[in-house]
Amino acid sequence: MARPAPAPIDFWFDFSSPYSYVASEWIDALAARHGRTVRRHAILLGATFQAAELKSPVSYPLKREYSLHDFARSARFHGVPYAPPPVFPIPTQNAARVFWWLSDGQGGSETGSAAARWSQAGLRAVFTQGVALHEPAALKAFAAAQGLDADAAEAAWSDPAWKARLKQANDEAVAAGVFGAPFFRIDGEPFWGNDRLPQMERWLAGGPF
């Protein structure tokens, strides 16, 4: 009997989270090195912050200055391009609703899926080209450039059904203990932050430590 495939790595992100962008660039390779796939979850950090009574690090003056510096340095450390977006943070509910529309309609959100490609491309657009995904016209143009039906995408992000789907994703994230992004679970074990890569690598290679 063949061994069952190991479970995918769950990866929660917000399209306006710089550390999620950096993690989005390494997570697929990390998973592949250990025979895993990645299951992505688009969420609104604002919703998880509210549930956890937290705020964004950039909402605190002293922490903001360091964080903006560390976003760029962490991208350089991981060898990925980075350009601070002109508006930051941005509301990302429309991009996230399109993610769930793609996920539910086109075979889920695991590695290689349409939703996974939308996730990676959207994060790259925000953090390397400053694309204003919060502006409907820019989001439509971006959807078209990704090969999607832009009118259908706009209809989806305006549809109460996909608004409810995103809300459900936020609620599920909070229930799963997610209070920030990127957030990961590997076989249930939680890892928070782009900087947990070394611990995740050890866990995947050798199991619980």
Name the site residues for a second copy (rule: CB under 8 A): 51-54, 60-63, 65-66, 69-70, 73-74, 76-77, 174, 177, 179-180, 190, 192-193, 195-196, 198-199, 202, 209
CA nearest to 140, candidates 127, 162, 125 = 125
**H/E stretch holding 7:** none
In terms of CB distance, is 33 or 60 closer to a second copy? 60
Q: Give the pairing type, strands 38-42 and 9-13.
A: parallel
What is 113-156 written as a DSSP string?
SHHHHHHHHHHHHHHHH---TTSHHHHHHHHHHTTS-HHHHHHH
In terms of CB distance, is 54 or 145 closer to a second copy? 54
Shortest Cβ 104–a second copy spacing (Å): 27
Shortest Cβ 197–a second copy spacing (Å): 9
Shortest Cβ 21–a second copy spacing (Å): 17
In terms of CB distance, is 41 or 134 closer to a second copy? 41
Contact 18, 192 (CB under 8 A): no
> φ, ψ for residue 89 (rounded to 5)?
-75, 170
In terms of CB distance, is 136 or 207 closer to a second copy? 207
In terms of CB distance, is 146 or 199 closer to a second copy? 199
Shortest Cβ 184–a second copy spacing (Å): 12
CA nearest to 20, candidates 123, 91, 172 = 123
Shortest Cβ 161–a second copy spacing (Å): 28
